[in-house]
Amino acid sequence: MKACAAELLGTFALVFAGTGAIVVNDTSGGAVSHVGVALTFGLVVLAMIYTVGDISGAHLNPAVTVAFFAARRFPARSVVPYVIFQCLGALAASLTLRSLFAGHRTLGATAPAGSEWQSFVLEYILTFLLMFVVLNVSTGAKEKGITAGIAVGAVIALEALFAGPICGASMNPARSLAPAVVAGQTEALWLYLTAPVLGAASAVLACRCVREPGCCRKCDG
């Protein structure tokens, strides 16, 4: 329960700060800026890795939890509780933002700027790259330590910087689910629930190929 509570609080912080930056930017006429929003997402993840990484692993993301399970680093019995508490934390954050900014239409929900297919591919690739980094800097199923915090926070900020204006750069089903449900912006929610999970799972295969001997004989030879 301590690990689940840590995931709830960590995901609350992620969604409250990240989507909150979007809401405040809209409300203040652009005072935060797109760069500020991207940095907020990266910095809050970095902070949560240092804060709860040794307790729960600081997954903060259902796609990350599923990918750790697929990589045989995380027990099956803990997957559903982690995902439930991550979603609860995200929903609590969006409900809090709704109470503070009742007039905001989207609450920072992700939505495609172009076609849904374009955003699906972008979310898939972005999450693939994020999870590839996570798997290579984490210990078991835990993101902890100086290397993990900096690397994961940096890749999130980087991807949000260049891809955010097109697809929202969610990379996290819980982050997209909560504001979409609370604000009633669910039109393209399916892609933000599926693409990150598929991208993270694909990263597990890529990590095995570069880490495990014999996976790619041409490379090994």
- Using one digit for the tens of pLDDT, what is the confidence trace for 62-104? 999 999 999 999 999 999 999 999 999 999 999 999 999 999 9
Alpha helices in the chain (DSSP H): 2-27, 33-52, 62-70, 79-100, 116-137, 146-167, 173-183, 189-211, 217-220
Residue 43: predicted pLDDT:
97
- Give the pLDDT mean for 139-153: 84
CB 71 within 8 A of CB 166: no
Q: How far apart are CA 196 and CA 193, in angstroms?
A: 7
Task: List pLDDT tens digits, range 159-213.
Answer: 999 999 999 999 999 999 999 999 999 999 999 999 999 999 999 999 988 876 6
Residue 213: predicted pLDDT:
62
The values of phi and psi at residue 142, to 5°, are: -115, 125
138 pLDDT higher than 90: no
Q: Over the chain, what is the mean pLDDT?
A: 93
CB-side neighbour CA atoms (13 Å) of 123: 32
Per-residue pLDDT band at 219 (split at 50, 70, 90): very low
218 pLDDT higher than 60: no
CB-side neighbour CA atoms (13 Å) of 71: 30
Structure tokens at 146: 């100086």
216 pLDDT higher than 60: no
221 pLDDT higher than 80: no
| HEC string for 112-161 | CCCCHHHHHHHHHHHHHHHHHHHHHHCECCECCCHHHHHHHHHHHHHHHH
Per-residue pLDDT band at 139 (split at 50, 70, 90): confident
Residue 215: predicted pLDDT:
52
By C-alpha distance, which of 136, 151, 159 is closest to 207?
136
| SS3 call for 72 | coil
Residue 146: predicted pLDDT:
78
Structure tokens at 92: 């609590």
| Whole-number percent of the chain with pLDDT over 90 | 88
CB 9 within 8 A of CB 96: no
- Domains, the chain, ranges and CATH? 2-220 (1.20.1080.10)
